[in-house]
């Protein structure tokens, strides 16, 4: 059986051509992520065009996820040579709009410009400041609010260059999750037909709801779904509220591993995945999964184990960032990831525990659980579900049945969005409103997909009356003749 855990690939200079995109798709890419922290609109427009063309050529859906930059705190503009910080010396953090760059270029003072002008209001004496994914560490010794500056001691130094990210664990950053740039980027993405939008630096459910309001404002009939990136300590604290209103989750372990002690991240990852399973919402595990393959053709053993454990945790998807965007071996990275997924999924370690089988809040949940048990008892070759919104597919996928899941939908956007849901093969079909005709369409589909032979049994799951949104309540076991 082909892999059921989905792969999200970040597209960039190493993967933007149609030739490489097609190789990525054949290797196992299900979702293409466009990082709007980089690139021009012209470049992103070309990427979307190339991805859609590859999808049409291969006759397989590929979802497009727009990842908004969010209010990331960054180092401001520095000389090309950067600024070298020695352990124990003092450095002043100052909003870059308050710096005279002509003086800075000839000054011997160690001044580090930052792009977030309110940090001095939200930071405390004793706070730790991490720069460039935690490679450099400063400690705040004094905050001079009238001057908008922070005096820090260098704990772990080195050469810092322009625009590197800054993390301040424990600080309550007041900046909105949606910046002016993000709003303009969102307008662009909606116009170009994205399927998912990922919201960076989410603090609570209100951030998600604000984004959803903007989507409806900019494109009232939009079906675009929202992924919340969990990369702040506040997001972990407020996770239940976020999960309630969002459509999907990304465990963004890069920033999260700086905001919180790294030894906590594996358990946070497991807990988030478990809660997403119960809620039947897709979850992505991201960051540094095959980091060494940026420069090496083979992964480390630890990286392969990381992928395997995410699959065993029952994540819906795993993600590659720089590995496919700027790395030297983008196709090989996807191939390794897909091969690891397939190997783990046929093992007994991938079997779902009882965690989701006792959480019912609708008839559809109970029906989906019954499908899981039918597959175990009757050796069902495939489940064919019918959906207008994707809800039925997520209900079925939630229980991780050990069989093929084919989902029929008449909506092309929903088809692509389901590329993020575990185990689902979404197919665009002219779904009949007549039950008998729908059953015939379902049986014709499994024959066309060549996944069943005469005498095999399949399950058809749908709503009755046909077309009733979110109300899967009918199960039919049928034999292929």
Half-sphere exposure (CA, 13 Å, Cβ side) for 186? 28
SS3 of residue 154 by DSSP: strand
Q: Taking Cα atoms as reference points, which of 395, 412, 377 lies closest to residue 461?
A: 395
Q: Which residue pairs from 306-311 have beta carbons closer than 8 angstroms and sit at least 24 positions apart in sequence?
A: 307/337, 307/340, 307/341, 307/344, 308/340, 308/343, 308/344, 309/266, 310/5, 310/269, 310/273, 310/285, 311/5, 311/340, 311/341, 311/344, 311/345, 311/350
Q: Residue 333 and residue 468: Cα distance in Å, rounded? A: 42
Catalytic annotation present for 18: no
Half-sphere exposure (CA, 13 Å, Cβ side) for 373? 10
User: Which position among 74, 203, 225, 400 bears the catalytic label?
Assistant: 74
Cβ atoms of residues 92 and 112 within 8 Å: yes
Query: Does residue 132 come out as left (phi exceeding 0), alpha (psi in the -120 to 50 range) or beta?
Result: left
Cβ atoms of residues 152 and 141 within 8 Å: yes
User: Which position among 5, 287, 392, 413 bears the catalytic label?
Assistant: 287
**Residue 162, token pair as written in the block:** 């322009």
Q: Residue 286 and residue 154: Cα distance in Å, rounded? A: 30
How many other CB atoms are found less than 10 A from the CB of residue 270? 17
Cβ atoms of residues 186 and 219 within 8 Å: no
User: Which position among 4, 72, 229, 281 bears the catalytic label?
Assistant: 229
Catalytic annotation present for 229: yes
Q: For residue 65, what are the β-bridge partners?
A: 33, 196
Catalytic annotation present for 80: no
Per-position b or e across 246-263, b if 16+ CB within 10 A of its CB: bbbbbbbbbbbbbbbeee
Catalytic annotation present for 468: no
**Residue 10, token pair as written in the block:** 């970040």
Residues labelled as active-site residues: 33, 74, 229, 287
């Amino acid at each position: 059986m082909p892999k059921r855990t989905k792969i999200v690939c970040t597209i960039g200079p190493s993967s933007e051509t149609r030739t490489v995109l097609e190789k990525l798709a054949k290797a196992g890419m299900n979702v293409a992520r466009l990082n709007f922290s980089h690139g021009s609109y012209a470049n992103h427009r070309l990427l979307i065009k190339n991805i859609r063309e590859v999808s049409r050529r291969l006759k397989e859906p590929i979802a497009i996820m727009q990842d908004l930059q969010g209010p990331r705190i960054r180092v401001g503009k520095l000389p090309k040579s950067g600024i070298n910080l020695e352990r124990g010396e003092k450095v002043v953090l100052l909003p870059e709009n308050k710096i005279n760059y002509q003086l800075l270029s000839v000054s011997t003072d160690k001044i580090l410009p930052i792009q977030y002008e309110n940090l001095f209001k939200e930071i405390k004496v004793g706070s730790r400041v991490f720069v460039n994914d935690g490679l450099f560490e400063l400690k705040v010794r004094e905050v001079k609010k009238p001057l908008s500056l922070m005096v820090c001691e260098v704990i772990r130094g080195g050469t810092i260059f322009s625009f590197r990210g800054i993390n301040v664990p424990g600080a309550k950053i007041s900046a909105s999750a949606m910046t002016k740039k993000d709003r303009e980027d969102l307008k662009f993405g909606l116009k170009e037909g994205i399927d998912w939008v990922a919201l960076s630096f989410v603090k609570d459910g209100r951030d998600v709801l604000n984004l959803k309001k903007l989507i409806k404002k900019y494109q009232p009939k939009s079906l675009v779904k929202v992924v919340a990136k969990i990369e702040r300590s506040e997001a972990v604290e407020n996770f239940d509220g976020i999960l309630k209103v969002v459509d999907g989750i990304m465990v963004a372990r890069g920033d999260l591993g700086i905001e919180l002690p790294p030894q906590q991240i594996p358990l946070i990852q497991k807990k988030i995945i478990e809660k997403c399973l119960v809620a039947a919402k897709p979850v992505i595990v991201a960051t540094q999964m095959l980091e060494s393959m940026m420069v090496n053709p083979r992964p480390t053993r630890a990286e392969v184990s990381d992928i395997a454990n995410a699959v065993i945790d029952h994540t819906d998807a795993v993600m590659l960032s720089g590995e496919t965007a700027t790395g030297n071996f983008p196709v090989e990275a996807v191939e390794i990831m897909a091969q690891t997924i397939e190997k783990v999924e046929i093992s007994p370690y991938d079997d779902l525990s009882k965690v989701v089988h006792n959480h019912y809040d609708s008839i559809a949940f109970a029906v989906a659980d019954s499908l899981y048990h039918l597959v175990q008892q009757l050796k069902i070759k495939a489940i064919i579900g019918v959906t207008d919104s994707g809800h039925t597919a997520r209900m079925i996928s939630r229980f991780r049945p050990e069989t093929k899941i084919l989902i029929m939908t008449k909506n092309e956007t929903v088809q692509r969005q389901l590329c993020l849901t575990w185990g689902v093969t979404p197919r665009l079909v002219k779904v009949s409103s007549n039950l008998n005709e729908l059953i015939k369409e379902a049986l014709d589909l499994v024959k066309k997909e060549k996944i069943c032979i005469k005498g095999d049994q399949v399950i058809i799951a749908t709503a009755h009356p046909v077309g009733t949104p979110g109300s899967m309540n009918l199960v039919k076991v049928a034999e292929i003749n």
